[in-house]
Structure 1
Amino acid sequence: MALSHRIRIIGGVWRSRQIQVLDQQDLRPSSDRVRETLFNWLGPDLSGLKAIDVFAGSGALGFEAASRSVDAVVLIENDKRTYNQLLRQYQLLNSYPICGEVKILHGDGIAYLQDAIDQSVQLIFLDPPFSQPELLIRAVHEAGRVCHDQGRGGIYIECPNAFDLTKLEGLLPNWTPIKSMETAQVKAVLFRRSSS
């Protein structure tokens, strides 16, 4: 099994703990800078929120949320090797237990959203493989129905910086992009509900 590098958890109970990342095509963990910015937007304490990491990959976003006391987070990964690596990494992290519940599922994240109850979670992470932009479009369509941010969470989207965000805004008519950033490769944006 090829392991390319490690990334660290930025804050919370697991602060400075490391996640080992598989060297695998389309597996691109959110950078430290992007995650630090996102969790500054969200705040240090996510207690009371339920979250879904729809395309979990390295687990960087879901594990970071768990470290910051979400009540529950579900990480979903379609690739079997990557899923098994998530299980291993969680076992290592959980040697220092957290309060919230963490579920790691092997399967299709979009199908999971399609089956989810309306407004049943407060925070959704969407960071699909950049080579498959259609996955993002399909996931955003479902996320707007499933998420009710309660003014604290939101729908977080990470996409290539060439991606046209107006496509997403059209799929989220009751949501507003309240925070965004751009790096050399990545656009990151946090949507919050603007009307009920």
Structure 2
Amino acid sequence: MRVIAGEWRRRNLAAPKGDATRPTADRTRETLFNMLTSRLGSFEDLRVADLFAGSGALGIEALSRGAAHCLFVEQDRAALDAIRSNIAAFDARSRTAVEAGSVMQLRAAREPYDLLLLDPPYQTGAGAVALDRLLRLGWIGPATWMAVETAADEAIDVDGLDIDAERRIGKGKLTLLRLQPDIADPNTLPA
């Protein structure tokens, strides 16, 4: 696994030992970041959260392309070791934070993030559940982009979020989402 573009282009990424995580393939990551670049233009100064982070490859890629800060959230110990190893290898400690624990236990955000990257286990529905929770906890605002990798046949359907684009890649699917334009306050969504 390598960083695809930006400051750390072509540098290797550490992957977690064992088979508890499924790192995003280089081809899938490249497609995802091409989709995001066509919408965002630039990653400069973005606040990013890499959720279900695994090796942290998605967040590291965003940092390499100019993101100001990335929060990595992961609960698997081997994956956390890989994330910390990658952060150290890229000397990115000042631009990162690591939270050991479940995405489902995150607290309210002080302000919305610019980009949420989610790579939950396939066929669990965890991506949609996490997005619904994060929407209610203030992680998602009008300018937030969300990217979720799921199994190709897995649907992401969250009240208050619109699907901007979907792209199938092998056994997986990338989905980009945005807050529905008529949602001013996510806390007013029906329960």
Q: TM-score range by the shorter chain?
A: 0.7 to 0.9
The one-letter code sitting in structure 1 at the alignment partner of 2:57 is A
Give the C-alpha shift of residue 78 in structure 1: 0.2
Equivalent residue for 2:34? Answer: 40
Residue aligning to 2:159: 172
The answer to whether the Cα contact below 8 Å between 1:76 and 1:105 also exists between their aligned partners in 2 is: yes
Within-5 A mapping of 1:27-176: 27-43=21-37, 45-94=42-91, 101-112=95-106, 115-117=107-109, 120-130=112-122, 133-145=124-136, 146-148=139-141, 150=143, 153-163=144-154, 165=155, 168-169=156-157, 171-173=158-160, 175-176=161-162
* Residue in 1 that maps onto 2:176: 190
Distance verdict in 2 for CA 1:46–1:34, change over 3 Å: same
TM-score for both structures, normalised by structure 1: 0.81
What is the aligned-residue RMSD (CA, Å)? 2.1
Is structure 2 residue 11 aligned with structure 1 residue 17?
A: yes
Structure with greater strand share of residues = 1
Return the TM-score normalized by structure 2: 0.83
SS of 2:15's equivalent in the other structure is strand
| Cα deviation code 1:97-125 (max 9, x no counterpart) | 59x7111221122212xx12275212111
Secondary structure in 1 aligned to 2:14?
A: strand
Equivalent-residue separation in structure 2 for 1:58 and 1:80 (angstroms): 11
> How much has 1:9 moved relative to structure 2?
0.7
**Secondary structure in 2 matching 1:176:** strand
Alpha-carbon distance in structure 2 between the residues aligned to 1:149 and 1:64: 23
Runs of 4+ in 1 over 6 A off after TM superposition: none
Q: Contact 2:16–2:81 at 8 Å: present in 1 too?
A: no
Give 3-state SS (helix, strand or coil) of 2:163's partner: strand
One-letter identity of the residue aligned with 2:147: Y
Equivalent residues of 2:17, 2:78 under 8 A apart: no
The alignment of Structure 1 onto Structure 2 pairs a total of residues equal to 177
Query: In structure 2, what residue type is equivalent to 1:70?
Result: A
Tell me how far 1:34 sits from its aligned partner: 1.5
Displacement of 1:83 in angstroms is 0.5
Matched to 1:183, the amino acid is I
Unaligned runs of 5+ in 2: 185-191
Query: What is the alpha-carbon distance in structure 2 between the residues aligned to residue 47 and residue 144 of structure 1?
Result: 24
